[in-house]
Amino acid sequence: MGMARVICGGIGSLVVGIALVGGAWGQTAPAAGTTPAAKPKTSTAAKPAASAYDRKLLKPALLKEKAPDTFQVSFETTRGDFTITVTRAWSPLGADRFYNLVKHHYFDNAPIFRVVPSFVAQFGISAYPPVTAAWRDAKINDDPRSQSNKKGTIVFATSGPNTRTTQLFINLKDNASLDGQGFTPFGAVDGKGMNVVDMFYDQYGDSAGMDQDAIEKGGKKYIDTKWPKLDTIKTASVVGEPVAPAAKPATKPAP
C-alpha cells in the first residue's frame, strides 16, 4: 500500500511517497543430509536485544506534547552540524509535531534522501521501518501560513489538505512559488548553518527520492547498500529545556 505526497513548484516536482510493508527475518535451513546439532538447554531465558529506537515512537497518538513558544534543535549530520530555531506561532501544529518527533529521536540515523540543488533538501523517513509504519496515518491538520518559504526555512511536506505526517524539507533558496500550496514554515536554520545544509549530497537527484518505497521498507540497511553516499542525520535533539518562569516572591502581610 502507498500514499504519495507531491510538492509542486520551483524546480520540477517534489514527490514524497510512503509505503509501509511489514516483514520478518527468515532462518537459514541446514544443508541437505545433515542433522542440526541439538541446542544445549538453559535455565535462563535469553534477554532480548535492546531496541535501537524509542519504543514510544510506535504510539504516535500518545506523543502530543505542546511545544514551547520558541525552541532550538541541534542537528548532527555526516556533513556537519547546524541548529534550527522554531517559532511556534508560525505554525503551531507543525511545531508541536516536530517537537515531539525530535524529543523522541525520530530523526536519528535518518537519511537526507532527496536533495535537489537550488530547491529543497528533504528528510523524515525513519531509519527503522516499524517506526515509519507507525506514523503513516498520523496526520495533522494544516496551519494558516504566516511566513514565506524563504531560503533556510523548514517545512512539512504535504500531499494535499491536512496530510502532514513526518517528512520535511529545508528550502535551499527562496521558494515563493510554494507559498500558496499549503507549505507552512515553522522554523529556520540559524546563522551559518546553511553552509552545512548546502553541502548535502545531491548527485542522486530525484533517483533516491523516487525510491522511497524501498527506503521505507529496508531502512538504514537498504540505504547503506543502495544509496551509500546520502548524508545522514546522526542525531537531532532539543537544545536545553524550556525555562519555567521564576516564582513571584511571597509578600508579607501588612502589619
Each residue's pLDDT tens digit, 89-122:
999 999 999 999 999 999 999 999 999 999 999 9
Does 56 map to a domain?
no
Output the pLDDT for position 218. 95
Output the pLDDT for position 155. 98
pLDDT of 8 higher than 70: no
**Residue appearing with cell numbers 514524497:** 16
pLDDT of 196 higher than 50: yes
pTM of the model: 0.77
pLDDT of 2 higher than 90: no
Output the pLDDT for position 26. 31
Output the pLDDT for position 254. 52
Q: For residues 56 and 47, which has the higher predicted lDDT (pLDDT)?
A: 56
Banded model confidence at residue 51, pLDDT cuts 50, 70, 90: low
Output the pLDDT for position 123. 98
What is the domain-level CATH number for residue 210?
2.40.100.10
Banded model confidence at residue 205, pLDDT cuts 50, 70, 90: confident
Does 245 map to a domain?
no
Output the pLDDT for position 48. 36
Banded model confidence at residue 17, pLDDT cuts 50, 70, 90: very low
Does 243 map to a domain?
no
Instruction: Give how many domains the chain has, as a whole number.
Output: 1
Cβ–Cβ < 8 Å for 255, 239:
no
Does 192 map to a domain?
yes
Q: Which of 69, 92, 85, 179 has its CA nearest to residue 143?
A: 92
Does 248 map to a domain?
no
Does 214 map to a domain?
yes
Q: Which domain holds residue 10?
A: 2-21+67-238
Does 6 map to a domain?
yes
Does 93 map to a domain?
yes
pLDDT of 19 higher than 50: no
Output the pLDDT for position 241. 58
Output the pLDDT for position 180. 86
Which amino acid does the sequence have at 28?
A: T
Angle at 103 (CA atoms; ends 209, 219), nearest 5 degrees: 30
